[in-house]
Amino acid sequence: MLGVSLQRRSRHRHTYEEYLAYERDSGLKHEYEDGEIFAMAGGSRRHNALASRLSAALELARRPGCNAFQSDQKVRVLATGKATYPDASMVCGKIEGDPADPTGYTITNPSLAIEVLSASTEEEDRGNKWQHYQLIPSLEEYVLVSQTQPRVECYRRLVTGTWEYRMTTEGTVQLSNGALIDVVSLYADLPD
């Protein structure tokens, strides 16, 4: 998720349709969960540089029939209704739009979602958001990237439906879509 923090807009319960209209009219990005709308703040330079490098790696490894997306691509978890913006994502195969979004901009079938962690979002990305992402049937891999130290964590769905966890602090990480992430290069010369 792009953002330094999430802030509650109000305690009023909004419909998903109200959320879509609010976001469209505001021109800003918001997450939606359980009737609440959460504003997303901009990311730090370091966060944005990491997200840019990860998006570039996805694009370089993109296979025919796959599409890589940056942080402006909204993803909705149909099983729970949560709408969010991963820092990077990918869909392989036909893109499935959210039937409740008349604009057709929201996707529901990412095969990969990547989040760059920050102090204010790490707990959400590791906990609540991860619980929601696991309910996306198409999701094969969820990747967490630390801003503070060289560390890439991958959760990969096995054929049994369970998730395998791997953490890498040096060397390379090969994602399920074939993208290679060299940890040294990923973290080299990052801005503060």
How high is the pLDDT of residue 33?
A: 94
Residue of 135, 155, 134, 131 whose CA lies nearest to 145: 155
Total number of domains constituting the chain: 1
Report pLDDT for 9: 41
Query: In the prediction, which pLDDT does 7 show?
Result: 46
pLDDT of residue 152: 98
43-74 pLDDT per residue, tens: 899 999 999 999 999 999 999 999 999 999 99
At 11 the pLDDT is: 66
| 18 within domain boundaries | no
Whether the Cβ atoms of residue 47 and residue 2 lie closer than 8 Å to each other: yes
112 in any annotated domain: yes
For residue 33, the one-letter residue type is E
140 belongs to a structural domain: yes
Q: What percent of the chain clears pLDDT 70, i.e. is strictly above it? A: 94
CATH, residue 47:
3.90.1570.10
Give every residue of the chain whose pLDDT is below 70, as ranges: 1-11
List the one residue out of 190, 112, 88 whose CA is nearest residue 149. Answer: 190
- In a domain, residue 24? The reply is no
